[in-house]
């Protein structure tokens, strides 16, 4: 693998792409430190310290800590992700969007344009809601979070946050076009990884004070390595359905007659199910922070991460969204029709309806395995860490994103090297990403 990294220096284009990606990510991290005017940052930081385990904490993770500072990138890339998911779900419902999705590159460009418009609209709505909500927030000592509340602050906050999200969206597209891999994923990756050094420093400080034992730290490190290994293994895992293509004679040429396979990924839905599940469960806990009623506070505690009720509900939602999102992005009927159109068939299965039913049955079983895998990764570490009282985040959603994006990026770099007659990172075999 070290030899593979040394080969990067010999490819000028790849070296430039990596440098461009690092510069764009550096711009993103610099912008995450620039606060929005009119905010008492100390009072806001104290408020966020008291709202861990709510939607604020989830959004703050995806923004790389920018929401806690209420920087110009406070909304992060979440409006773009939400708009992309909404457009993807509407593609199944609206015939016009379904036609665009099948029109190739021109249709994808049009859907991307709609996604950008949706991102701006969501950013304006979220920016206005956050600015109004901040005006009613106070720190532990009663100090106001917003220095000068009113429509002047709200308008300035909406313009600043919307512009910041649009700029991050532009950064992501430029990284995709001129850098390495998926720019949006890399921005999320950079935001999560940026919090790792402070967590490590905090852990060593706790070891120095005796709050955390060396045996516990070694156990946690071993657990993290094991979980990362399981994620890599499962993300690369797939169920391969054999497909045979019949021979066809077109003019003087013969086509087909080859054997291939239809790969069904174990985790087709990716990180969408835990994100949706976390958002739905954390929403009541977030609202409960602003309602000082005993039974409401009790419900908030039941829905807080670490409680048995929360974990059971979390697992249930993850399994549901794994099936739901897989059904949205993968249509066995379309796959069966395309196979039949090009003379393909599954040995022992009749083309057409029987093939789609067989694919759907296999996909359902594979998705069940993937759902249990995602649920375990998301729930088990948080339970174990809560038992050890480790004060830094080690959750499944962040870990799935970090490992998955790292695999995709290494796969992209390996593709560049192999295309230029260099060996990849591994002398035998190839590193495969999530797609």
The residue-averaged pLDDT of 98-120 equals 85
Greatest mean pLDDT among 4-8, 46-50, 143-147, 256-260 lies in: 143-147
- % of the chain exceeding 90 in pLDDT: 7
- CB of 426 closer than 8 Å to CB of 1: yes
Residue recorded with tokens 């169920």? 239
Q: Are strands 259-265 and 238-245 parallel, antiparallel or unpaired?
A: antiparallel
Supply the pLDDT for residue 2: 47
Which of 47-51, 71-75, 244-248, 300-304 has the highest mean predicted lDDT (pLDDT)?
71-75
The distance of Cα 94 from the centroid of its chain, to the nearest Å, equals: 25
Q: Give the DSSP letter string of 211-227.
A: SS-HHHHHHHHHHHHHH
Q: Where in the chain is the domain with CATH 1.10.3370.10?
A: 1-195, 209-392
Confidence at residue 254, expressed as pLDDT on a 0 to 100 scale: 63
Name the average pLDDT for the chain.
78
- Tell me the C-alpha distance between 74 and 150, whole Å: 20
Select the more confidently predicted residue: 173 or 88.
173
Bridge pairing between strands 259-265 and 344-345 = unpaired
- Region 413-432: mean pLDDT is 60
Residues 184/81, Cβ–Cβ less than 8 Å: yes
Determine the Cα–Cα distance for residues 385 and 392; give it in Å rounded to an integer. Answer: 9
Superfamily classification of domain 1-195:
SecY subunit domain (1.10.3370.10)
Of residues 252 and 186, the one with the higher pLDDT is 186
Per-residue model confidence as pLDDT tens digits over 241-272: 888 887 766 666 666 567 888 888 888 888 88
* Structure confidence at residue 367 as a pLDDT band (50, 70, 90): very high
DSSP per position, 235-261:
HH-EEEEEEEE--EEETTEEE---EEE
CATH class of 209-392: mainly alpha
The whole-number pLDDT of residue 256 equals 58
Q: Report whether 106 contacts 137 (CB < 8 A).
A: no
Residue 10 confidence (pLDDT): 67
Residue 434: per-residue pLDDT: 47
DSSP conformation class of 150:
S
- For 395-414, how does the pLDDT look when each residue is reduced to its tens digit (9 = 90+)? 667 788 888 888 888 877 77
* Residue 417 binned pLDDT confidence (cut-offs 50, 70, 90): confident
Does pLDDT of 167 surpass 90? yes
């Amino acid at each position: 693998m070290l030899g593979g990294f040394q080969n990067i220096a010999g490819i000028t284009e790849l070296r430039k792409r990596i440098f461009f990606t690092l510069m764009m990510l550096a711009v993103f991290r610099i912008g995450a430190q620039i606060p929005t005017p009119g905010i008492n940052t100390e009072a806001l930081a104290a408020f966020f310290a008291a709202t861990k385990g709510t939607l604020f904490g989830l959004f703050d993770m995806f923004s790389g800590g920018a929401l806690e500072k209420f920087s110009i990138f406070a909304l992060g890339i979440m409006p773009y992700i939400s708009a992309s998911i909404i457009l993807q779900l509407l593609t199944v419902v609206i015939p016009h969007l379904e036609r665009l999705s099948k029109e190739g590159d021109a249709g994808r460009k049009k859907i991307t344009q709609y996604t950008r418009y949706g991102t701006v609209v969501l950013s304006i709505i979220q920016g206005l809601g956050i600015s109004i909500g901040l005006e009613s927030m106070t720190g532990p000592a009663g100090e106001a979070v917003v220095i000068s509340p009113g429509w002047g602050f709200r308008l300035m906050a909406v313009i600043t946050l919307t512009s910041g999200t649009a700029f991050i969206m532009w950064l992501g597209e430029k990284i995709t076009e001129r850098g390495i891999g998926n720019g949006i994923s890399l921005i999320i990756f950079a935001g999560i990884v940026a919090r790792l050094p402070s967590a490590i420093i905090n852990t060593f400080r706790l070891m120095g004070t005796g709050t955390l034992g060396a045996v516990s730290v070694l156990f946690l490190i071993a657990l993290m390595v094991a979980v990362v290994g399981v994620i890599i293994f499962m993300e690369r895992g797939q169920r391969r359905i054999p497909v045979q293509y019949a021979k066809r004679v077109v003019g003087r040429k013969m086509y087909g007659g080859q054997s291939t396979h239809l790969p069904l990924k174990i985790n087709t839905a990716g990180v969408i199910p835990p994100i949706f599940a976390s958002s739905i469960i954390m929403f009541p806990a977030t609202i409960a922070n602003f309602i000082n009623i005993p039974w409401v506070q009790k419900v908030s505690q039941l829905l807080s991460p670490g409680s048995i009720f929360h974990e059971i509900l979390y697992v249930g939602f993850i399994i549901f969204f794994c099936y739901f999102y897989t059904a949205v992005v993968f249509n066995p009927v379309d796959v069966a029709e395309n196979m039949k159109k090009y003379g393909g068939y599954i040995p022992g299965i009749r083309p057409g309806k029987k093939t789609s039913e067989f694919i759907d049955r296999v996909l359902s079983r594979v998705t069940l395995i993937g759902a249990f895998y995602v649920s375990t990764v998301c729930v088990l570490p948080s339970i174990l860490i809560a038992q050890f009282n480790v004060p830094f985040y080690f959750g499944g959603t962040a870990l799935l994103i970090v490992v998955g994006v790292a695999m995709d990026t290494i796969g992209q770099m390996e593709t560049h090297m192999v295309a230029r007659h260099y060996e990849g990172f591994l002398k035998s075999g190839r590193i495969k990403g999530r797609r």
